[in-house]
Amino acid sequence: MSNIFVKNYVSSLDVVETQKAIKFIKNNFEISLAKNLGLSRVSAPLFVEPETGLNDNLSGKEKAVSFNLINNKKLEIVQSLAKWKRYALKKYSLSGLYTDMNAIRPNEVTDNLHSLYVDQWDWEKVIKAEERNFDFLKSVVEKIYASFLETYNLVCKEYGFKNELPKEVYFIGAEELLKKYPNMTSKERENAICKERKAVFLMNIGNKLSNGLIHDDRAADYDDWALNGDLLLYYPLLDMAFEISSMGIRVNKESLMSQLTEKDELFKLDMPYHQSILKDELPLTIGGGIGQSRLCMYMLNKAHIGEVQSSFWNKEDIEEFKKHNIILL
């Protein structure tokens, strides 16, 4: 996506008011999410050992930021905590947890929605084998959306915004979406369905569709591609689909083997994390990430993620956005 400049844009809140509003949003959303999903807060690592297999390689194309210790031991900055959380649930004997995840993604192409710095709530919850199904996934998505609406309504009341989102999420699979809009790209399909339905959970991301392509790339070793999805909202200011969460029921040993085979990554089976799944040493879980800056950007009706987070932007972008009344932190 290239930079979008909103005509006649004026931020509803100045920089200082925005900072106060960010804290208001984060505090209220954390409380609601923990209550609705039954989660306890834990601390999380900023870096992990790459040989453990705990780091999330996302789509497999992103390169993790790494550094060496004095003894040449290599560590990687986490890209997400999708795998670490399963270990943490077992280690702490918890039924559900959430944490603050901070990551650096140096290969990200920055624009209105994407930054080199990623901040999100990572959450994970233990489930039973019989809960590895669509109905259970749907129930959790609805609880997360309820927390979003609860917080958004508070923000609207506090700052005079208007919530025009529906009360319920619309669920659709990637293959069904392809059939609905067969002549569009995957991103164009997301934009079209979000404009129509406003709040959408797009499911089954990772497997090849009937056109021989995948809707979007997904790592093979955390989400079960048959039981995952993205929570998307329509964002009128930018006239586009706006992803606030990616989540799913995590792989068991059967789906792990199948998906690693599909992506030709069976070499990962030697890693401790993958061995733990094959040996049934880790709990079955559902989990995901919810973008903190994304959430704040949406609720505060900002035109650029740089209005709610301090990251790196090149000088040309800073000057160009400034001409359009968009002040990047």
239 labelled catalytic? no
Three-state secondary structure string covering 142-155: HHHHHHHHHHHHHH
Name residue 63's amino acid: K
Q: Which of 119, 223, 224, 230 is catalytic?
A: 230
Q: Which residues, other chains included, contact 119 with Cβ-Cβ below 8 Å and sequence gap of 6+? A: 100, 101, 102, 103, 291, 292, 293, 309
280 labelled catalytic? no
CA quadruple 132, 134, 136, 142: dihedral, nearest 10: 150
Q: Which of 115, 120, 259, 292 is catalytic?
A: 120
pLDDT value at residue 130: 97
The answer on pLDDT for 61 being more than 80 is no
Q: Which of 32, 79, 86, 105 is catalytic?
A: 105
Q: What is the CATH architecture assignment of 15-323? A: 2-Layer Sandwich (3.30)
56 labelled catalytic? yes
By percentage, how much of the chain surpasses pLDDT 90?
Answer: 68
pLDDT mean over 77-98? 89
- CA 61, CA 277: separation in Å to the nearest integer? 23
- Residues present in the chain in total: 329
230 labelled catalytic? yes
**Among candidate residues 196, 193, 197, 202, the one with its CA nearest the CA of residue 172:** 202
Supply the pTM of this predicted model.
0.91
pLDDT mean over 97-111? 87
Q: How far is CA 160 from CA 60, 154, 247, in A?
A: 42, 10, 31
Q: Which of 124, 190, 223, 243 is catalytic?
A: 243
Helix 134-159 with 15-37: angle, nearest 10 deg: 150
pLDDT mean over 34-59? 83
The answer on pLDDT for 181 being more than 90 is yes
pLDDT value at residue 315: 87
Tokens of 154: 């508070």
Q: How confident is the model at residue 109 (pLDDT cuts 50, 70, 90)?
A: confident
The answer on pLDDT for 185 being more than 90 is yes
pLDDT value at residue 34: 97
Inter-residue contact 284 to 127 (CB < 8 Å): yes
pLDDT tens digits for range 203-240:
999 999 999 999 998 889 989 999 999 999 999 999 99
Name residue 117's amino acid: Y
243 labelled catalytic? yes
The answer on pLDDT for 195 being more than 80 is yes
pLDDT tens digits for range 246-304:
999 999 999 999 999 999 999 989 988 899 999 999 999 999 999 999 999 999 999 99
320 labelled catalytic? no
- What are the structural domain ranges in the chain? 15-323
pLDDT value at residue 183: 94
Which carries the bigger pLDDT value, residue 314 or residue 167?
Answer: 167
Q: Which of 80, 245, 246, 255 is catalytic?
A: 246
Q: How confident is the model at residue 81 (pLDDT cuts 50, 70, 90)?
A: confident
The answer on pLDDT for 58 being more than 80 is no
Please return the burial class of 130, using the count of CB atoms within 10 Å of its CB with bins 0-12, 13-18 and 19+: exposed
**Complete DSSP assignment for 70-112:** TT--EEEE-S--TTHHHHHHHHHT-SEEEEEEEEE-TT---SS
pLDDT value at residue 247: 95
Q: Which of 30, 32, 56, 224 is catalytic?
A: 56
Average pLDDT, the chain: 91
Helix 292-299 with 134-159: angle, nearest 10 deg: 50
Inter-residue contact 76 to 55 (CB < 8 Å): yes
Among 1-5, 24-28, 265-269, the range with the most confident prediction by mean pLDDT is 24-28
DSSP assignment letter at 308: T
